[in-house]
Structure 1
Amino acid sequence: MDGGCVNNVILLADSYKVSHYQQYPPGTTLLYSYFESRGGKFPYSCFFGLQYVLKRWLVGPVVTRQAIQEAKEIYSGVYMNDKDFNEDGWNYILEHHGGRLPLRIKAVPEGTILPTRNVLFTVENTDPAVPWLTNFFETVLVQVWYPMSVATNSRIYKQVLHHYLSLTHDNLLTLDYSLHDCGYRGVSSVETAAIGGAANMINFKASDTVAGTCLLRKYYHEKTVGAHSGPFSEHSTVTSWGRHREADAHKHMLDTFKGRTFGCVIDSYDVWNCCEEIIGDQLKELVKENGKQGGCFVVRPDSGDPCTVVLKCLEILGRQFGTETNSKGYKMLPSYLGVCQGDGVNYNSIGKILDTVERHGWSAASVSFGSGGSLLQRLDRDTQKCAYKCSLAVVDGDEVEVYKEPITDKGKTSKKGRLTLQCEDGVYTTVEHGKGDPEKDLLVPVFENGELLKDYTFEEIRQRAQITPNEIDILNFLAEDK
């Protein structure tokens, strides 16, 4: 998951930061910065990923003589001179701190659901000789935006599914498995898949992005797996049988995975014929027999208008196999049948599909979803308007509140002074100017002088992120997002 020379912690910064140590006021001994979501697409953030960044890059003696020399060579080439690289500063860290970074980081516990415009973590130097270090590592620390945004995006999906399951079904037992992560191939790198896949697993336990489990096992104490999958056909495994043998392809799945839950893609040719004639007639008894042995046959349409296709699949299968009615009066396919929509899926389209399903008397429990690019890739740092800003400096022994207040964009106004995160009566507030109560501060020390102070398990993060009764009105949110 690494690229070339970028195993060197000194190369984890935007190049322009190399000269910043020369730009702060003379006599500066401390810089204190913070990270927040300044708003963005979603009204809250699910905080996740800082522990990965710390363990992966910053914990331990990360500054070495070799790293300094390599960085000097590269930055001297980038700057086209050897004067701007802070060789003395890095050597100081090596000689006085054994290569460990003299920084202190406090953060909200991972998995916390926090309204936007609140501090998520703070960073400050612990050695007055290296105040520039605080903002040098902005680049890599801000990359927490990605796992945090995926975890948040994924949780919005889950709220939509939670709403419709609560409305149309007897229980929420299928909720954690109602969205399948299909995003491995749709992201920019294996590392992205690992980080994003792990973030989604906070909310859902169905995934094909096994790289997410690998990350959780290494960095978050996951002892087994973060999510599960099973046998699903793809178009190549169906069409390789030939058009005239499509029924044989699906029968082969029934024979091979007897008594198990598995899925078959059904739109290789004529999705309606496949539902009605092949599955609902030719293979009907085999499908039912698979159910008697504890299995479930899941059909996967993969083209067309999702609202139309999902509903018509339900109606055809319902006619062929019969339906059950749950305690809330909604129709359901037999427990050995299901429909999984994996094309064109995002949290808005799920809402539209399930609204259509509900209006036609069907329970959301008969439908599941798969999502790829929209879940893991169609995000950027501005999705939640993530920013890292300095809010306090000590210059010649005096504290200076540091902030920006651009006349052209008040939304980019930054916070001032030392910050604490407090919660009163369920309302989170970031207190500025150092006026917060340290006893009420929800920011937890997680890193100091090269040592990890807090090591969260994935299970506690997942529990912290659970949906609670007092959540946002998801239908209003979807309406506003259109």
Structure 2
Amino acid sequence: MSRVNPILNTDSYKLGHFLQYPPGVQAVSAYITTRGTSVMPEIVFFGLQIFLKDYLSQPVTAADIDEAEEVAALHGQPFDKAGWQHILSKHGGFLPLSIEALPEGMVVRRGLPLVQVVNTDPACFWLPGYVETALLRAVWYPSTVASALRHVKRTLMPFLEKSCDDPEELMPTRLAEYGARGATSLEQAGIGGAANLLLFENTDTLAAVMCTRRYYGAKMAGFSMPASEHTTMIAWGQEREAQSFAHMIDQFGDYPAYSVVSDSYDIHHALSELWGKLLQPRVRAKPGLLIVRPDSGDPIDTPVQAVSQLAYHFGTRLNGKGYKVLDDKVRVLQADGVSLRDITMILGRLEGMGFSAENISFGIGASQLQKVSRDTYSFTMKGSAIQDGDGSWRDMSRRPVNMHEKLPRAGRQAVVEEEAELVAIRREELGGRQNFLQPVWENGRLLKEWSFDEVRARARQRHRLYG
């Protein structure tokens, strides 16, 4: 994206926080965590590396300071010009921060510290709190999308395990993401789409592919196929619908798979008369897999009927678990506004009819990228420790409003393994144990870089310690 002024990548009220700390403060330590419990007690940590490479790698410039000074004055806020000039002159414009984080892709229980930040220059004691807005946003959104999609995956897996010969191999292809047009920005489409690619591999969001390439070194993290839309189909007119389908076969039948939206006029006619009879020899003559899209109509009945009609015309085989699988030349994709509830009902109904879950896959749009918020998993960043002028650290914590309120832990944090679980402890209790909060950034330098393959592998592990 276009360059932003790093000084102004915060909330307005934080411009004056440099004047609010007690005298003698040398450092502030803060960490990001998730609060509370729910039916989704685990989260997938993801996305910090995008922020480190895209935003923290941009040094503050003299022009940034001048702009921020003007904006602050007009906006009604004080401005620490001397503090920012100090960062420019002493640190080359890079923020003097040390950031630790869990390995990206790790699946952890809510309540664990995910990221911990502290200033490395005593003159910039106010900086950890200043970056909260940008840092928390950089973590909560991609982590929430990835965590929600992990819940989708766990919901779908029992259907695949019961009716498919190789559920693990099939799972990454069961959900395709088409959320780019419904995202609020190119950046959201890229980051949210990248989070989706941790769990599923089919996408039409090029921004997601580019995000994983640029920030995680993935040569190709997601896959697509030639596909029609209603515009390219209805351009032929209803009287030439058969020709429009035949044209798709001719153009794309040599690809591994191609998708044809088939509900422009009458999905049942298209299934039984066009695909099932007239064009079936032509489909079989090509090496590619035809994926029929019955997008409109009842979101549950229509895709179930599509599988059933294709089974009647193309035939089926029984897999190793005794479920019917469509002929290898044809499958179904339902991609128009299906919810997780709809998907489970479709799979349940097909299972009851003796069909394997392998016969159908699903598409999701912006719902998975948009219907989340910071409160979905209660992400928060809290200052937990402060270093006084004598170099000693003391805890920071407010008083609970009531006895039932559970506050984030005070003190500098570490994360260790105890009895096959990750738990948070105070940093001074670490001893010789491994701290899973690893240094990833310091004073403008990326200390640890995760590949997308590494992050994806962690997110897909099914059993704890790591998911």
What range is the shorter-chain TM-score in?
Answer: over 0.9
2:28 counterpart of 1:34: no
Say which is worse superposed, 401-410 or 43-52, in terms of deviation.
401-410
Aligned counterpart, 1:217: 213
Aligned counterpart, 1:132: 126
Give the alignment's TM-score, normalised by structure 1: 0.91
Deviation of residue 41 (structure 1)? Answer: 6.4
Aligned counterpart, 2:45: 47
Which runs of structure 2 are paired with 1:78-477 in the superposition (5 Å)? 78-79=75-76, 84-143=78-137, 144-172=139-167, 173-222=169-218, 224-260=219-255, 261-290=257-286, 293=287, 295-397=288-390, 398-407=392-401, 410-411=404-405, 413-432=407-426, 434-437=428-431, 439-469=433-463
Deviation of residue 307 (structure 1)? Answer: 2.2
Deviation of residue 74 (structure 1)? Answer: 1.0
Q: CA separation in 1, counterparts of 2:399 and 2:321?
A: 54
Give the alignment's TM-score, normalised by structure 2: 0.94
Q: Report the identity percentage.
A: 38
Asked whether the equivalents of residues 253 and 283 of structure 2 are also in contact (C-alpha less than 8 Å), the reply is no
CA 58–46 in structure 1, closer or farther in 2 if over 3 Å, else same: same
Deviations 1:322-362 (A, max 9, x none): 11111101111111110101122343332222122212211
Query: Which AA in structure 2 matches 1:387?
Result: T
Query: Which AA in structure 1 matches 2:451?
Result: T
Deviations 1:161-193 (A, max 9, x none): 332221111113222222111111110001111
Asked whether the equivalents of residues 420 and 438 of structure 1 are also in contact (C-alpha less than 8 Å), the reply is no
Deviation of residue 51 (structure 1)? Answer: 0.7
Deviation of residue 11 (structure 1)? Answer: 0.8
Asked whether the equivalents of residues 417 and 434 of structure 1 are also in contact (C-alpha less than 8 Å), the reply is no
Aligned counterpart, 1:59: 57
Aligned counterpart, 1:479: none
Asked whether the equivalents of residues 420 and 465 of structure 2 are also in contact (C-alpha less than 8 Å), the reply is no
Q: CA separation in 2, counterparts of 1:99 and 1:467?
A: 40
Structure 1, unaligned stretches of length 5 or more?
A: 474-482
Asked whether the equivalents of residues 41 and 384 of structure 1 are also in contact (C-alpha less than 8 Å), the reply is no
Q: CA separation in 1, counterparts of 2:91 and 2:121?
A: 10
Say which is worse superposed, 229-238 or 161-170, in terms of deviation.
161-170
Q: CA separation in 2, counterparts of 1:359 and 1:176?
A: 23
Deviation of residue 414 (structure 1)? Answer: 2.0
Deviation of residue 440 (structure 1)? Answer: 2.5
Query: Which AA in structure 2 matches 1:215?
Result: C
Query: Which AA in structure 1 matches 2:213?
Result: R
CA 425–299 in structure 1, closer or farther in 2 if over 3 Å, else same: same
Q: CA separation in 2, counterparts of 1:392 and 1:69?
A: 32
Q: CA separation in 2, counterparts of 1:142 and 1:131?
A: 18
Asked whether the equivalents of residues 421 and 428 of structure 1 are also in contact (C-alpha less than 8 Å), the reply is yes
Deviation of residue 147 (structure 1)? Answer: 1.1
Aligned counterpart, 1:477: none
Aligned counterpart, 1:19: 16
Asked whether the equivalents of residues 105 and 122 of structure 1 are also in contact (C-alpha less than 8 Å), the reply is yes
Partner SS for 1:320? helix
Q: CA separation in 2, counterparts of 1:157 and 1:22?
A: 46
Deviations 1:94-136 (A, max 9, x none): 2222222111110000111111111101001111111100110
Deviation of residue 31 (structure 1)? Answer: 0.6
Instruction: Tell me how large the CA RMSD over aligned residues is.
Output: 2.0
Query: Which AA in structure 1 matches 2:212?
Result: L
Query: Which AA in structure 1 matches 2:25?
Result: T
Q: CA separation in 1, counterparts of 2:101 and 2:39?
A: 22
CA 430–371 in structure 1, closer or farther in 2 if over 3 Å, else same: same
Q: CA separation in 2, counterparts of 1:95 and 1:9?
A: 16
Say which is worse superposed, 207-216 or 351-360, in terms of deviation.
351-360
Q: CA separation in 2, counterparts of 1:68 and 1:104?
A: 22
Q: CA separation in 2, counterparts of 1:385 and 1:123?
A: 19
Deviations 1:258-310 (A, max 9, x none): 233111112212111211111111112112222xx2x1111111123322122
Structure 2, unaligned stretches of length 5 or more?
A: none
Q: CA separation in 1, counterparts of 2:81 and 2:323?
A: 70
Q: CA separation in 2, counterparts of 1:269 and 1:409?
A: 62
Asked whether the equivalents of residues 18 and 85 of structure 1 are also in contact (C-alpha less than 8 Å), the reply is yes
Asked whether the equivalents of residues 266 and 299 of structure 1 are also in contact (C-alpha less than 8 Å), the reply is yes
Q: CA separation in 2, counterparts of 1:297 and 1:409?
A: 60
Deviation of residue 396 (structure 1)? Answer: 3.8
